[in-house]
Chains A and B, each alone.
Chain A
Amino acid sequence: MQQGGGSETEVTWEDQQNINKFGRLNNRLHELHDEIKIAKESNDNLEDASNELILTDEEVVRFQIGEVFAHVPKDEVESRIEQMQEATSQKLEKLEEEKQSVVAQMSELKKILYGKFGESINLEED
Chain B
Amino acid sequence: MASSSSSSSAVTERRGIPGAQFVEDVQTYLTQLGLDVNSALAFLQERLQQYKVVEMKLLAQQRELQAKIPDIEKCLDVVATLQAKKGTGEELIADFEVSEGIYSRASIEETDSVCLWLGANVMLEYSLEEATALLQKNLDNARASLEVLVADLLFLRDQTTITQVTIARVYNWDVHQRRTQQAAAATTIAQE
Residues of A with Cβ closer than 8 Å to B?
A: 1-8, 11, 13, 16, 19-20, 23-24, 27, 62, 65-71
B164 at the binding interface (Cβ < 8 Å):
yes
- For the complex, what is the distance from the CA of A53 to the CA of B77, rounded to whole Å? 21
Please, which residues of chain B bring their CB within 8 A of the CB of A71?
Answer: 92-95
B160 to chain A: closest residue by CB: A23
Q: How far is the CB of A116 from chain B (nearest CB, A)?
A: 13
Chain B hits for A16, CB < 8 A: 8, 22, 161-162, 165
How extensive is the interface on chain B, given as a class? 20 to 34
Main secondary structure of the interface of A (DSSP, over half): mixed
Residue of B157, B161, B169 contacting most chain A CB atoms (<10 Å): B161
B172→A66 contact, CB < 8 A = no
What CA separation (Å) do A68 and B94 show in the bound complex? 6
Please judge, given known A-B contacts A5-B172, A5-B175, whether A66 and B75 are in contact too, CB under 8 Å. Answer: yes
A27–B156 alpha-carbon span in the complex (Å): 13
A68 to B77, CA, bound (A): 11
Q: Is the CB of B78 within 8 A of A66?
A: yes
A24 touches B158 (CB 8 A): yes
| B134 interfacial by beta-carbon distance below 8 Å | no
* B24 neighbours in A (Cβ, 8 Å): 13
Known: A20-B158, A62-B95. 16 other contacts (CB 8 A): A3-B165, A3-B168, A3-B169, A3-B172, A6-B172, A6-B176, A6-B179, A7-B172, A13-B8, A16-B8, A16-B165, A23-B158, A27-B157, A68-B94, A71-B92, A71-B95
Q: Quick one: which of B157-192 are within 8 Å of A by CB? A: 157-158, 161-162, 164-165, 168-169, 171-172, 175-176, 179
